[in-house]
Structure 1
């Protein structure tokens, strides 16, 4: 081997080492930057959460359910009672339903139940099966001596309500669905392995960052600034909590169990449904199927999104009261 060849090999090895050093430095800088970002996000979240805890305002009243505290908000003194149940992930049901509560409470006693993991209620390690959720809601109402009422449910509460109205048929005088879920259009199956990364995402503070970068869901809607501030505090408090993640894991089986259920024939059922569902063309037909045998079933289509009670509270209240007088 000539000296020139040996020199070329030496220069090549030197270049390779230099490139590797540069790559390692770049990689190290990236790792440090990521760790620094995580540390900043985590610290900001901890400080902000502590500050928000001091600014959080209480509402409603706590009732003892299964050894824990469940929050229930009551407004109005009407002769009839409307019990409102939230959709999945609603951070603060009593505040979220405020426009609808304001429309109904002059005429009805309005009761908003915040299930475990929602609003100001405790979390629970108990499995989020339909049976457990329904039993807990019923226990809360019983402790308040509320034993005759109209059940009004948004989204996933439509699935829980199917079970509820059959178990407690003598207590429920009517059901009102607010773009309520239907058994035939199930959510995707979620396992605990799917929710574990979400727990890390929340615990490290990235859920707060996600919300910061997202659009305000209450922008342009009839909520005052104080209510919006409290809603945002409770969204950050409850988003991706362990109770709600367990509910997400049980959602598929809860939908499947509901496929065997129907509304009692003589139970008045009123559906408020978004006219143009963005994900399926079966939304309206499946709601129609649920009330086809009902003696008092009706569906109202609204040009609104899934949270139609936020934007169409007055229209919903007026139609609901008209429906109830025609039973």
Structure 2
């Protein structure tokens, strides 16, 4: 009886071990296929990505900048964290603004068609690189308009270069004191997802982030290819690693009182407690401060580009009237 039991247990154990072995081989095969497909796709997409904008030499590297429009006044656009292809992501808004302004969309290092960099992604370095790009282009007076984390870099920027920035416009911009920004991100996991090809697979089977938006098919195709190239690259992972310290560093800063300040804010942000009051707190001491709430996703410029342009133009007319009166 004992012998039979022992034999049965042995058989069961062998079956379990064989099953584990088969599963392990299947997983290894799957990962190998995903990795190879990703390598092949990366290679073929490299040749399909169409250049846009122009290259500016910053710190011995190439930074890509898209300039559209001939207006006397300049609007400088800066992206949110992880927006893989800023020049195209802002396209709908750029098309609305460029009949009236010279619009300059900057792609920081690690983004869009710009080079990567090994320099630490501190606010100080990012701000000085953006400024250097504008200096190279002889752009010395402009409105700074930016999405999401530009609220952190921008508050530093306008305090460093007060004589250059004529207004700050936030598109659902981050606030230094917003809760939950002391989080530690799993950088190694993100890096593995990128390098293994699992990120490409995930993006392929996830819902299309551009579905139902006004982008043309070609732009969407380009954005997806550049996203596959840039998502979780070493430069943006380094920036992710600095998010907590960059937020902390901005906590002592406020926007200058005399700087016109226009903040477009998502009306229904359920992820951050007190999202609208946080922004109202930023404008309370401003001579020309305004919060405009909008229904939409965090990427307000994907759906509210017309309203953003109209509100901005009206706001700039108001502030120029009141500064002349």
TM-score range, shorter chain: over 0.9
Q: CA offsets, 1:238-294, max 9 Å, x none?
A: 111111111111001110111100000100000000111021331100101111000
Deviation at 1:217, TM superposition (A): 1.1
The structure 2 residue matched to 1:95, chosen from 88, 93, 96, is 88
Deviation at 1:66, TM superposition (A): 1.0
Q: How many residues are matched?
A: 319
Query: For residues 187 and 130 of structure 1, what CA distance do their matches in structure 2 show?
Result: 19
Q: CA offsets, 1:36-69, max 9 Å, x none?
A: 1001100111111111111100001111111111
Contact 1:116 1:122 in 2 (8 A): yes
Query: For residues 186 and 78 of structure 1, what CA distance do their matches in structure 2 show?
Result: 39
Query: For residues 182 and 213 of structure 1, what CA distance do their matches in structure 2 show?
Result: 33
The structure 2 residue matched to 1:150, chosen from 118, 126, 143, is 143
* TM-score, length-scaled by structure 1: 0.96
1:121 aligns with 2:114: yes
1:85 aligns with 2:78: yes
Contact 1:186 1:252 in 2 (8 A): no
Query: For residues 119 and 187 of structure 1, what CA distance do their matches in structure 2 show?
Result: 28
Deviation at 1:197, TM superposition (A): 2.0
1:244 aligns with 2:236: yes
User: Which residue pairs with 2:34 in the alignment?
Assistant: 41
For the pair shown, the structure with the greater C-alpha radius of gyration is 1
Deviation at 1:189, TM superposition (A): 3.5
Query: For residues 57 and 111 of structure 1, what CA distance do their matches in structure 2 show?
Result: 19
Contact 2:266 2:293 in 1 (8 A): yes
- Which aligned pairs between 1:248-267 and structure 2 lie closer than 5 A? 248-267=240-259
- Which aligned pairs between 1:140-179 and structure 2 lie closer than 5 A? 140-179=133-172
1:274 aligns with 2:266: yes
- Which aligned pairs between 1:212-223 and structure 2 lie closer than 5 A? 212-223=204-215
Q: CA offsets, 1:278-325, max 9 Å, x none?
A: 213311001011110000000111111100111010111001000000
Query: For residues 277 and 206 of structure 1, what CA distance do their matches in structure 2 show?
Result: 29
Query: For residues 198 and 92 of structure 1, what CA distance do their matches in structure 2 show?
Result: 18
1:24 aligns with 2:21: no
